[in-house]
Amino acid sequence: MDPLWRALAYLNARKYDACVAICVELLTKNPLDQAAWFLKVRAMVAKAYIDDAEMEEEAVGDLLLDSNQTADNPKPGTSLSKPKTARPGTNSMSGMRPMSSAGRPITGFQRPGTSTIRPQTGQNSVSSLQRVLTASRGSTARPATAAGRLLRLGTASIAGMAPGANIEVSKLDLQKYSQRPALARILCDYLLYVENNPRLALQLASFVVEQDEARDDWWWNERMGKIFYQMGLLRDAETRFKKALVKQEMILPYLELGKVYIRLDDPKQALETYQTGLDACKGNTHLLSAMARVHDQMNNTDEAQKLYHTVLGLDASHVESIACLAAYFFYANLPELALRFYRRLLHLGTSGASIIEEDGYAAAEAASDLVHGQSNNQNMGKKKKPPAKFQSSTSPTRALSSSAEVWNNIALCCMETGQIDTVLGHFQRALHFSQDEQQTSDIWHNIGLFYIHTGDLTLAYQSFRIAAATNPDNAEALNGLGVLDMRRGNNDSAAAFLASARDKAPFLYEPFFNGALLARRMGDIEEASKLLRKAKELSGESTEITEMQTSIEKELMCI
């Protein structure tokens, strides 16, 4: 069989390394073989390609250097920087649904960028900036940028290639390649996805669009918009995407243009862009999902769920919609429906979605009943959270049936529906498939909640201790330990646990509320009032917090 045809067969079979190896041998014999060069570059692009049309990721360095925000003090409901300001008439379920570390409600599906903490202005600017600078892999890690991350991905992809596969782009004559449309297109993608060099890609695209036949090509306008977007030139990217849509209405430019408006913190314009795309492309699941994500980020949960229902009507195996609807029904006190959706995820088998643990989980709603028995004002917030969230991925991963998070979520749903005899079995499977310490810690925390649910406080305390020992940053487990110690009368130990929980997760209101309860019990009314104001700021309107605040104000007036 001819080596070139064998390389083409390997490319069609997605055996990219074998295809590149054959092409390298052919180019060693004849460096001017354009067909072999084209196949080699195409295989390298296919191996390193990332479908970033629906991926919006802003690293810490990008956030600190971001100067594209349209307004410093946006109106409520018009900005992603204040996700807790829901529109009037919407049911955000802020009292039921826990918030992530970014201040956004948990949706059931984690996407790049949605857990990013944006620095804010005003009274909380200092604390917000400290949270942004806190690295997830240790305090010594340097704030990264999205461009640096893409560069590392490109380096890793090149390292996996056969020797001699990489191309010395510094020696390429871009003006010469711009005269050949097929080679220019594949070379542009190579510079973007393999070399991650948008400047050279922009230089090549500039040479190409100077030609009359390429000036009206929507593909080159879209690629130039992508290049400008990676370089941070958002207004230039917006212009190019609009030109691409004028030339030809395609789904990809609509998605990319919506990303630009989200980066500009203009969700209203992004929704209008997606709606325009839906008018042109009826029933497209990518555009519907993009609209649902924006509504989720704006805390407009009801509208997002309607869109996810529409997506499932068009694509019954859409993992993101199933996961988000499962989380929605769980927080809406419908665990029976949530269980059906999670079992559906279990039956899907292998999916192109990787599953990761959420970094924050409002803890110990069952423990609130224990403390509530001693004081009518004591409540930890009835937040019941399946901690699993699904992250979009570009390659198939392990089977969902081997997912710790799915089994953990099923266990929580069974606990809420009264199927107590099956809960521990599901938790055991979740622990068996656990991949890291954070997953194991969250599962043990949920086991502690189960024992509280069944009334075994000793095993609950031990489970919380295991969760805190496995992951010292698990603020929810520390909060649960503080509540149980407070119930036992160990006020000093409870105060230490609650203070540590507040330091680990300043976005959770339960440690502040429980700290206020403890401070009031110990006679420190001023500290209780301070912590209660912070809890109210984080949780919004809450009957327990309002009643306790009124009671404390009366006590302060008497003093």
Asked if the model's pLDDT at residue 347 lies above 70, the reply is yes
Q: What's the pLDDT at 176?
A: 87
pLDDT per residue as tens digits for the range 489-511: 999 999 999 999 999 988 888 99
Q: By three-state DSSP, how is residue 355 classified? A: strand
Q: Which residue has the tokens 């295989």?
A: 43
Instruction: Return d(Cα 12, Cα 75) in angstroms, integer.
Output: 51
Q: What's the pLDDT at 288?
A: 95
What is the average pLDDT across 142-146? 50
Q: What is the DSSP string of 472-528?
A: TT-HHHHHHHHHHHHHHT-HHHHHHHHHHHHHH-TT-SHHHHHHHHHHHHTT-HHHH
At position 522, the amino acid (one-letter code) is: M
Quote the mean pLDDT of the chain.
77
Instruction: Return d(Cα 115, Cα 83) in angstroms, integer.
Output: 12
State what percent of residues in the chain have pLDDT above 90: 43
Instruction: Return d(Cα 33, Cα 23) in angstroms, integer.
Output: 9
Cα end-to-end span (Å), the chain? 95
* Domain parsing of the chain, residue ranges: 1-48, 51-81+146-159+167-277, 282-345, 355-558
pLDDT per residue as tens digits for the range 164-212: 556 777 788 888 888 888 889 999 999 999 988 899 999 999 999 888 7
pLDDT per residue as tens digits for the range 78-130: 677 665 544 444 444 544 565 555 455 565 665 655 544 444 444 444 444 45
Q: What's the pLDDT at 96?
A: 54
Q: What's the pLDDT at 417?
A: 92
Report how far apart, in Å, the C-alpha atoms of 541 and of each of 76, 256, 381, 520 are: 17, 37, 12, 21
pLDDT per residue as tens digits for the range 418-452: 999 999 999 999 999 888 898 899 999 999 999 99
Q: What's the pLDDT at 97?
A: 60
Asked if the model's pLDDT at residue 3 lies above 70, the reply is yes
Q: How far is CA 347 from the centre of its chain?
A: 24
Which option is the CATH number for 282-345: 3.40.1000, 1.25.40, 3.30.420, 3.40.50? 1.25.40
Fold annotation for 51-81+146-159+167-277: 1.25.40
Report how far apart, in Å, the C-alpha atoms of 470 and of each of 418, 464, 478 are: 29, 10, 12
Length of the chain measured in residues: 559
pLDDT tier, 415 (very low <50, low <70, confident <90, very high otherwise): very high
Instruction: Return d(Cα 68, Cα 504) in angstroms, integer.
Output: 31
Q: What's the pLDDT at 470?
A: 94
**pTM value?**
0.76
Q: What's the pLDDT at 64?
A: 55
Instruction: Return d(Cα 166, Cα 474) in angstroms, integer.
Output: 44
**51-81+146-159+167-277 matches 282-345 in fold:** yes
Crossing angle for the helix pair 251-263 and 234-247, to the nearest 10 degrees? 160
pLDDT per residue as tens digits for the range 273-296: 999 999 998 989 999 999 999 998
What is the average pLDDT across 210-231? 88
Handedness of CA 510, 514, 520, 525 (dihedral sign): negative
Q: Tokens for 95?
A: 């009292």
At position 372, the amino acid (one-letter code) is: H
Q: What's the pLDDT at 65?
A: 55
355-558: CATH homologous superfamily? Tetratricopeptide repeat domain (1.25.40.10)
